[in-house]
């Protein structure tokens, strides 16, 4: 630990620097932190109690819902609804915008989350994570929330981050003032500042992609991946392939070491013309983090942060990481357009 600063102290310091800050945002974050601790506790005992296995339900993405996903979703919705500072929420697990129940106080923020990303890894004890994205509502407080309040571009996020349930639990977030990482000290139950001002290296030696889909990729995507496998690249030798299949864990490793994570479009059956990952609850928050850390995120043609969503659950191809690698990918796609 570099400093024994708790995440709450860090947020209060940040709040003091914002003229006119009301404390609403800090309050929202405190609820999020508590939810993260509760989910972390459950994830850590996943092998001990009957929380593993499928619920038998299918979520809005057509995937089987695992019990821990459902638990994390429930905790987040319950706690965040009671924060008093939100006007709406959206979750990867819910088809529609989640309204704040009648009678509970409301505020000017919107949170969008993937409660437990990488859930196919739960049963085998591989790292999973919670991803969140926070926006300010556009319409007037007190009026009904509009779809346009929620469907905002990544550039309009006021904060984004993730909680990684790994060998330790980490909270990594940005409020537009750099990226800071906090590690949960289970002894005292506090997230302590362990990674202040994270910067992603300008180039790295890791590429992360599910290469099993190679036969279903476009020529441009094959050219991108061949660049990383060849000796004819910036390092003069092949990159290392590292792919966990859990976005938060893959992203976190590449954020610290440098390199690139990719989930391109493919034409397997059924075809994934926009890849697998969701713009609003996965790509946009990760894009805000990487840009704040000095890296880049694109769909191949456009900055992820500029994409105006028209659907809560829309998917987007994602190339995210160090500048050199993402610039190289953009140049290859541009050549093929
Ligand atoms: P999930 O939100 O249903 O858990 O799916 C998202 C996960 C990401 O964590 C990961 O990057 C990706 O799916 C892996 O997909 P694949 O198995 O196709 O490589
Ligand atoms: Mg997910």
Q: What is the pLDDT of residues 270-327, one digit of tens each?
A: 999 999 999 999 999 999 999 999 999 999 999 999 999 999 999 999 999 999 999 9
Render pLDDT for 196-224 as a digit per residue (tens, 0 to 9): 999 999 999 999 999 999 999 999 999 99
Is 63 touching ligand 1 by the criterion CB < 6 Å? yes
* Pairing verdict, β 296-298 and 240-241: unpaired
- Kindly list the strands in the beta sheet with 190-195, ordered across the sheet, starting from the edge strand earlier in the chain: 98-99, 86-91, 109-117, 128-136, 159-165, 169-174, 179-185, 190-195
Q: What is the Cα–Cα distance from 300 to 331, expressed in whole angstroms?
A: 9
Asked if residues 30 and 12 have their Cβ atoms less than 8 Å apart, the reply is: no
Mean pLDDT: which of 40-44, 50-54, 253-257 is highest? 253-257
Is 117 touching ligand 1 by the criterion CB < 6 Å? yes
Q: How many CA atoms lie within 13 A of 140 on its CB side?
A: 2
Please name every residue paired with 184 in a beta bridge, in sequence order, or none if there are none: 191
Q: What is the Cα–Cα distance from 329 to 82, expressed in whole angstroms?
A: 43
Q: Looking at ligand 1, which atom is closest to the CA of residue 243?
A: 19
Ligand nearest to the CA of 280: 2
Ligand nearest to the CA of 249: 1
pLDDT of residue 126: 92
Is the previous residue joined to 270 through a cis bond, with omega within 30 degrees of 0? yes
pLDDT of residue 129: 97
The ipTM assigned to this model is 0.97
Closest-CA residue, ligand 1 atom 16, reads 245
């Amino acid at each position: 630990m570099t400093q024994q600063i708790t995440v709450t102290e860090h947020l209060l310091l940040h709040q003091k620097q914002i003229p006119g800050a009301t404390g609403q945002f800090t309050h929202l974050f405190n609820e999020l932190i508590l939810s993260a601790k509760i989910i972390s506790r459950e994830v850590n005992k996943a092998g001990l109690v009957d929380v593993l296995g499928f619920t038998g339900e299918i979520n809005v993405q057509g995937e089987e819902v695992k019990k821990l996903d459902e638990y994390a979703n429930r905790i987040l919705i319950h706690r965040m609804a009671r924060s008093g500072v939100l006007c709406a929420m959206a979750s990867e697990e819910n088809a529609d915008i989640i309204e704040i129940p009648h009678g509970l106080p409301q505020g000017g923020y919107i949170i969008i989350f993937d409660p437990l990303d990488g859930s196919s890894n739960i049963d085998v004890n591989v790292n999973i994570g919670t991803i969140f994205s926070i926006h300010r509502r556009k319409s007037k407080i007190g009026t009904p929330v509009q779809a346009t309040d929620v469907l905002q571009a990544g550039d309009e996020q006021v904060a984004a981050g993730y909680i990684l349930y790994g060998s330790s639990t980490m909270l990594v977030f940005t409020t537009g003032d750099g990226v800071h990482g906090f590690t949960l000290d289970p002894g005292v139950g506090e997230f302590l500042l362990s990674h202040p001002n994270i910067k992603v290296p300008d180039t790295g030696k890791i590429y992360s992609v599910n290469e099993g889909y190679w036969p279903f990729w476009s020529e441009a995507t094959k050219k991108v991946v061949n660049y990383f496998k060849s000796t004819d690249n910036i390092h003069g030798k092949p990159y290392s392939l590292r792919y966990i299949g859990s976005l938060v864990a893959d992203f976190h490793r590449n954020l610290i070491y440098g390199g690139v994570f990719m989930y391109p479009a493919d034409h397997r059956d059924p075809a994934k013309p926009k890849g697998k990952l969701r713009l609003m609850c996965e790509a946009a928050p990760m894009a805000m983090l990487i840009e704040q850390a000095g890296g880049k995120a694109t769909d191949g043609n456009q900055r992820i942060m500029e994409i105006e969503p028209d659907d809560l659950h829309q998917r987007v191809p994602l190339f995210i990481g160090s500048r050199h690698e993402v610039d190289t990918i953009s140049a290859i796609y541009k050549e093929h357009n």
